[in-house]
Amino acid sequence: MSKDSVLDPADDRPRYVVIADDLRQRIEGGAYPLGSLLPTESELCEAFGASRHTVREALRRLAEAGMIQRRQGSGSQVTAVRAHAAYVHSMRSLNELFQYAADTRFRIGSVRLAVPGAAHAADLGEAAGEDWLMAEGLRLERDEEVPICFSLLFINRAYATIAPDLTGISGAIYRHIEDRFGVEVALVEQEIRVTPVPRAAPAAFGLHPHAA
């Protein structure tokens, strides 16, 4: 790596950000192809005129973006030529939780009235053996085709007549139920746990069946 990488003193961004951006551009431009190794920390320090701490922070940012993998004793290997897109949504309140639906798109793949399988019995309680309106599909970023999550919805059969409208619906589904049936969400319970990926989801996310 040549000395032309010396940092521009007019750039007021943190030095580690500038270094990370420079390396990212080099990776994207093909200077460091997929599978190749970046220069060593010592070489980067010399090239950028930066401290080892600053260089390590820049490399950490690239690693978090999924572009490199750092291995003790063997340097930093390029693992992707583009930074991985990450969807982040704050949920500190009920309004922010509901805003998630407004900020994304739900592309529904199927809608049916059926009795849920045994895997969902614990979630649905005493009504698990009854018919539910079940809808499944992908939650996407509003202006992108990047999938955020696979969603399986269970809607009480009392609201099942909304089924024909679901495939073309925009915004939060619960809002449409509230408006159409004159009801209001009074309680939200949220539980996060690790489960096997549903069989309909792996292809959209590039995952293997039965992955967690």
Residue bearing the bigger pLDDT, 153 or 148: 153
- pLDDT value of residue 88: 60
DSSP class of residue 32 equals S
DSSP class of residue 91 equals -
For residue 49, give the nearest of 76, 11, 92, 87 by alpha carbon: 11
For residue 131, give the nearest of 151, 109, 163, 155 by alpha carbon: 155
Structure pTM?
A: 0.52
**Contacts for 38 with CB less than 8 Å, ≥ 6 apart:** 23, 32, 44, 59, 68, 75, 76, 77, 78
Whether the predicted pLDDT of 129 surpasses 60: yes
Contact status, residue 200 vs residue 186, Cβ threshold 8 Å:
no
Average pLDDT, the chain: 82
- pLDDT value of residue 93: 64
Kind plus residue range of the DSSP H or E element containing 202: helix 202-205
Task: List pLDDT tens digits, range 155-195.
Answer: 999 999 999 888 767 777 888 899 999 998 887 777 777 77
**Contacts for 193 with CB less than 8 Å, ≥ 6 apart:** none
Instruction: Give the C-alpha separation, 101 to 169, whole Å.
Output: 12
* Residue located via tokens 């390396």: 23
- pLDDT value of residue 86: 59
Residue bearing the bigger pLDDT, 18 or 148: 18
C-alpha Rg value of the chain to the nearest Å: 24
Instruction: Give the C-alpha separation, 107 to 140, whole Å.
Output: 7
Least confident of 38-42, 44-48, 175-179: 175-179
